[in-house]
Structure 1
Amino acid sequence: MSGAAIVATGLRKSFGDKVVLAGVDLDIAEGSIFSLLGPNGAGKTTTVHILSTLIRADAGQVRVAGHDLATRPDAVRAAIGVTGQFSAVDTLLTGTENLVLMAGLHRLGREAGLRRAEELLEQFELTEAAGKMAGTYSGGMRRRLDLAMTLVGRPRVIFLDEPTTGLDPRSRRMMWQHIRELAADGVTIFLTTQYLEEADQLADRIAVLDHGTLVAEGTADELKRRVSGGHIRLRFASPASLDAAVRVFGAVSRDDEALALQVPSDSGVRSIREVLDRLDTAGIEVEELSVHTPDLDDVFLALTGRSAAAQEAVR
């Protein structure tokens, strides 16, 4: 990471009386994966549309791939690729034809365009389906073709706007692998998603956007530590051991049927050692210990006031 791929200061955007972005600052390193997390209507897509020159900001300064967005939008467009929420694939064309069409738009020439199409079809494991109409592709295949089309011009910065929404788990993980490979090659990835799991798996840094304002930024672990709900679950072999442990830890969550306790914890090594030391001092044998950290829904609820499950319900 040699510098900043995207720098935005005081980014603002309103549609009529509705403020969508209320002064967003970003500093994204070259070759990194940056994830913008947030609930529906938070302003994620508007941010992508501004940074990718699709719409103008009302205020703020932006540089993308070293180019000023306001004065050199054509240079920005030449350096970026965009994969939106909805596929840009032409379902009446074959996989090869879609890629060759994009190559023509990048003025690669027919022979160079065909070579680039073949490279990308192989890279995204679509060679066997290259001659089939894209309308026959599965959702995962179509999304991979969509990303391949974005890469025809070898962009330095790629905007991925909720690229795995609606994909099955296997297709999602395949997309994650392709994203990791792009970053390993030095491409900067700007990823918007509602899934902390996705950001957790991929992103070097995550920002949480809500009501047009960045409410938190950091690594996935840093964001999780900001949310309460972490605990150590202890399971015992007998009711007597459970009762003894309750006397040691006091008012903690108790499950008599499972013979288990939930002891609040930050899930750090020191906290775990302290719990084990207290059990050892009291001479209490623990049958099973597991550490639980806050999950996606915990983070959404704490940082945005809305749960991830509720967001899925309104999609």
Structure 2
Amino acid sequence: MKYTRYINLLVALILLLSGMASCDEESFSKDDFEWKTEAMTIVMPGEYKNFFYASNAEAFIVTELDFSVSVLAASDDDANTIEKLEVYAYFQETTGDEQVMHGGENGKLFKTFDDVEDFNLFQMSITIDEVYELFANELIIKDRPNKLISTDLIELKWVITDINGNVTDTRTNCSGSQCQYLFGVDEGFACPNDLSGVLNYEVLDKGAGATGFVGKTGTVQITRVSLSGEYTIDDCQFGTSWNGNKYAAKLFDQDCSNLIILDEPDGTEWEITNINGPTCDITWTYYYTAGYDEWATVRVTRADGKDWPEDLRGEGPY
């Protein structure tokens, strides 16, 4: 029963921490987590999970990865102060059919953080240059014009030392998804435009089957999933769906051509017109439009002030 409670609380903690980036770090207290039995580290990557080499640009366009890190000390005795957190790295290199792991048994020390406050988030970054310089003398493949190649994999582990000298090595004293972090190099065609961000909208016109009203305003969020033109949008019908609920969808910049394709069960499509810098008009239609007069035209403006591509277009009307 105690083990089950530990697992349930651990899952809850990870879910809680995944939404902490914009929260007040001081609003959480380790006293709420007395169930801890050993030190642990929670690591949350930023927007990019891997370095990215753009084949169309013949250059890396993601050269740095960012992480949010939080350390939880053990609850035994008074071992609730972290003396230091050490980050160690391993480098897996593929040569032909062979995979070679560099870093030895313990890994190579990458960074040390002293006087880490228990259960508070702090930021860590890692660059291509730092990884390469750490392992350059050991690498078998010497022909590396850009230092890293697509078959390289880097593993990070965390060594926690508390004020009493107790040491937790997450490669040997840990189990689960938070013990190590693995990343590498993605390679592909990178879209030159970034369509992500907050969109402010105003309803200009609508069918009788759509909810809301002309003049209604609101916001939607487009989130970039990959540099190859994959996004998500939290409401592709801009608050005017038949029942007022949000219509989340995947959004694709097809072939990086500024042709917007939506992917959601009812086949929503956009017609994009009147592009004027950061503003354009979008008319959505979908499978039920003809039978139920469900559609709307909204004027959307990018909150970041960036201009839309002049040839931005959708595949609609349905």
TM range (shorter): under 0.3
Point out which structure has higher relative CO (alpha carbons under 8 A, 6+ apart): 1
Task: Give the TM-score normalised by the residue count of structure 1.
Answer: 0.27
Give 1 or 2: higher helix fraction.
Answer: 1
- Structure showing the higher strand proportion among its residues: 2
So what's the TM-score if we normalise by structure 2? 0.27
